[in-house]
Amino acid sequence: MCGIVGFMAQDADSALTERTLTIMRDQMVHRGPDDGGLYVHRNGASTIGLGHRRLSIIDLSPLGHQPMSTADGSLWIVFNGEIFNYRELRAELPGSVQAQFRSQTDTEVILYGIREWGLEGCLRRLRGMYAFALYDTGVGTLTLVRDPLGVKPLYYTHHRRCLTFASEIKALTAMPGFKPAINNQSLYHYLTFANAPAPDTFFEGVSKLEAGTYLTCDGQGRMQQQRYWNPASFQPRSSMTSEQDYIDELRRLLRQSVRRRMVSDVPFGVFLSGGVDSSLNVALMAELLDRPVETFSIGIKDDPSNEFVYARQVAEHFHTNHHEAVISDEDFISFLPEMAYLQDEPVADPVCVPIYYISKLARESGTPVIQVGEGSDEIFAGYQTYHLFDGWNRRYYEPYVQTPNFFRRSLHGIGKHLLSAEKQDALRRAALGEPLFLGNAIAFWDNEKSGLLKQAFLPPTTSSEYIHGLGKSLGIKDPLLQIIHIELKNRLPELLLMRVDKMSMANSIETRVPFLDEDVVSFALTIPSALKFKLGQPKYILRQAARGIIPDSIIDRKKWGFCGSATNMLSSRLADYARTRILDSPLIAERFNRDAIEAIFVSLREQKRFNSFKVWNLLNLVLWHERWFTATSTHR
């Protein structure tokens, strides 16, 4: 796991200097504290520069140094991530190609795999998580690639005849002449989704490469983006004759995935909450090890929702070497300003804080590689809200949308004065023929934002319009499957995986995601919806696959998010801290209606459950603005 940076300039005047590229690269030392490298090359009128920070996980020798090239220097790469089946792929290459290898790295397998099979041919074979930049000296092209599910981030900007890219936005902001400006549309969407949907970011002119795509730029600056992996191509099938067939195949694929993610030349372990997903990771790893699994848990001081009892039960059952940490309000408050820097752009999930501290615990224990449970709830439909929305959509919403338009508009007009903000916005969307489901965790609905933001800062596209367009592009009729695919396009890569990447890498920790193995995901998407929610149980098929592997008491216990949610994490002290920072923010004064902000804090006292996430959303936003835009802000 590493940090990559680089550029392709169309002429000498646009090129970055080695000194600038070094400064940009070293904004990300936390992503790669073990080594750093540079490569700068003139090719006709154009100039290419590649930079790399290395976190050594596979082949710890100097032979893993990047940027790396093929033996003849025709292809150059900077690579962030891990290819878990690299040994099998290396064995598939002709002997004459294998003889050219100079290291035991997965990076070199990508280089020769691309030369042997072509870019898409190689990408079809890779099983891993990755973001990389490939420079082809022969044709003079730079290609940026992001893995199928978006486990690893990659940002880029095209300015003054120069394409520049990096693993983190902070590296791009170190470019000479970079002037940060807020992307109004991203800020607007963030208030709903708690993240900025790809390809936009919070910084005007800076984009993030979408999951499952690659972007190619030639020496004249012409860019072309191509999708090489599309989850919508996998549809439910009836080839398996029984539920047990699905269970057996799922178990096989999960064991394969966990085994793949144990490829490492350094110690590895598991973040353990005591839920089904993390417990299954522990169990499957324990099957393959002849030593105790390293497990890590975290809780919040004096919080009755802490899951230590379940994590300890699993740790004891599988005889793990278990580590725990407890964090308090002081830990939250001391870390929040730094979190705004580490995130690059706001990721309004309070889980970022415990992920940071549990990653710190793992690093201090000498375990730099960790398996996590992200993605399971999305691909196996593990949230109760998915099934509520699915049921409401089938029974009420779709039939209602088929009623005459004048009736829907009239009812929306009446509902404005009688219903909650959520129901008001549902009626508004129904009147416009827009979808019921926008995302699993919504902070502010579009109708709320019309009163929250000043008129001048309301962009042309609403968040429900964005999801409507996304849903139409999928071409999926099954409502539950469409919900899953919408989550795979937005919330999973740009919120859930982003929070894990940024907070773990801040501690130089590599996190691996077994449930998002490409083979697991492609199979999960073919499982009929009736097996994902059955007998009133979300994630039914995965729970059945887990039986006999982990204790039934873990499988059947009530689902609880990692460290809970904003409701329990936003203590009275944190709420007071948030109120002060939000109301004193120049961003709030410039763009928001103060009365609407103050009303949220009044409602927080009466309805904490419905307002805590709103407060957390706004707090992340103002801390980000303070860190990146105010005159008193300093970057580390």
DSSP 416-473: TTTS-HHHHHHHHHHHHT--S---SS-SS-HHHHHHHB-GGG--SS-HHHHHHHHHHH
Residue 222 is predicted with a pLDDT of 93
Q: What is the pLDDT of residues 405-438, one digit of tens each?
A: 888 888 888 887 788 889 999 999 999 999 999 9
What does the pLDDT look like over 356-404, one tens digit per residue?
999 999 999 999 999 999 999 999 999 999 998 888 888 999 899 999 9
Residues 118 and 251 in one domain: no
Q: What is the pLDDT of residue 532?
A: 95
Domain contains 293: no
**Dihedral through CA 53, CA 55, CA 61, CA 66, nearest 10?**
-30
The last residue of a domain, from among 229, 256, 280: 229
Residue appearing with tokens 């006292």: 605
Judge if 220 and 241 occupy the same domain.
no
CA 350 → CA 251, 392, 588, 620, distances in Å?
A: 32, 29, 20, 9
**pLDDT tens figures, 16-74:** 999 999 999 999 999 999 999 999 999 888 999 999 999 998 888 999 999 999 999 99
Same domain (yes/no): 386, 461 = yes
pLDDT above 50 for 634: no
Mean pLDDT of the chain: 94
2 is known as an active-site residue = yes
The answer, yes or no, to whether residue 460 has pLDDT greater than 60, is: yes
Query: Residue 632 — pLDDT band, cuts 50, 70, 90?
Result: very low
pLDDT band of residue 238 (cuts 50, 70, 90) is low
CB 505 within 8 A of CB 30: yes
User: What percent of the chain stands above pLDDT 70?
Assistant: 98
- Looking at the fold, whether 521 and 591 belong to one and the same domain comes out as no
> Mean pLDDT across the stretch 88-107?
95
Handedness of CA 493, 506, 514, 319 (dihedral sign): negative
| 8-state DSSP, 516 | G
**For 139-155, what is the mean pLDDT?**
97
Tell me the Ramachandran region of residue 433: left when phi exceeds 0, alpha when psi lies from -120 to 50, beta otherwise: left
Query: Residue 200 has what DSSP assignment?
Result: B
Residue 292 in domain? no
pLDDT of residue 45: 86
CA dihedral 12, 17, 18, 22 (to 10 degrees): -140
Q: State which H helix or E strand residue 41 sits in.
A: strand 35-43
Are 376 and 357 in the same domain? Answer: yes
Residue 107's pLDDT band, with cuts at 50, 70 and 90, is: very high
Domain presence at residue 521: yes
Lowest-confidence region among 318-322, 547-551, 610-614? 610-614
Report the Cα 572 to chain-centroid distance in Å: 29
CA atoms within 13 Å, Cβ hemisphere of 449:
26
DSSP 33: B
Give the domain-ending residue among 174, 207, 229. Answer: 229
Residues 123 and 143 in one domain: yes
Asked if pLDDT for residue 471 goes beyond 80, the answer is yes
Taking 90 as the threshold, does the pLDDT of residue 253 lie above it?
yes
Q: Does one domain contain both 215 and 360?
A: no
Residue 271 forms part of a structural domain = no
Assess whether the previous peptide bond of 199 is cis (omega < 30° from 0).
Answer: yes
Does residue 49 sit within a domain? yes
pTM for this prediction: 0.95
Task: Name the 3-class secondary structure at 559.
Answer: coil
Provide the domain limits for residue 75: 2-229
In the numeric block, the tokens 């809780």 are attached to 299
Examine the domain organization and report whether 469 and 367 are in the same domain: yes
Q: Does residue 35 share a domain with residue 182? A: yes
Residues 6+ apart with CB under 8 A from 285: 258, 262, 270, 293, 371
d(CA 331, CA 338): 11
What is the C-alpha R_g of the chain? Answer: 24
The 8-class DSSP code of residue 248 comes to H
Q: Are residues 38 and 117 in the same domain?
A: yes
Q: Is residue 312 part of a domain?
A: no
Mean pLDDT of all residues in 317-328? 96
Contact (Cβ atoms closer than 8 angstroms) between residue 471 and residue 218:
no
- What pLDDT was estimated at residue 528? 94
Which tens digit of pLDDT belongs to each residue from 263-294?
Answer: 988 999 999 999 999 999 999 999 999 999 99
What pLDDT is stored for residue 565 in this prediction? 74
**Overall domain count for the chain:** 3
Distance CA 199, CA 218 (A): 20
Of 310, 275, 305, 278, nearest to 294 by C-alpha is: 278
How far apart are alpha carbons 558 and 417 in whole angstroms? Answer: 36
Instruction: Write phi, then psi, for 364 (nearest 5 degrees).
Output: -65, -25
Percent of the chain at pLDDT exceeding 90: 84
Whether residues 576 and 442 share a domain: the answer is: no
pLDDT of residue 563: 67
In a domain, 367, yes or no: yes
Residue 238 lies in a domain: yes
Domain boundary among 208, 229, 250: 229
**Mean pLDDT (whole number) for 455-459:** 95
Query: Is residue 180 located within the same domain as residue 240?
Result: no
CA 362 centroid distance within chain: 20
CATH of the domain at 161: 3.60.20.10
Contact (Cβ atoms closer than 8 angstroms) between residue 143 and residue 92: no
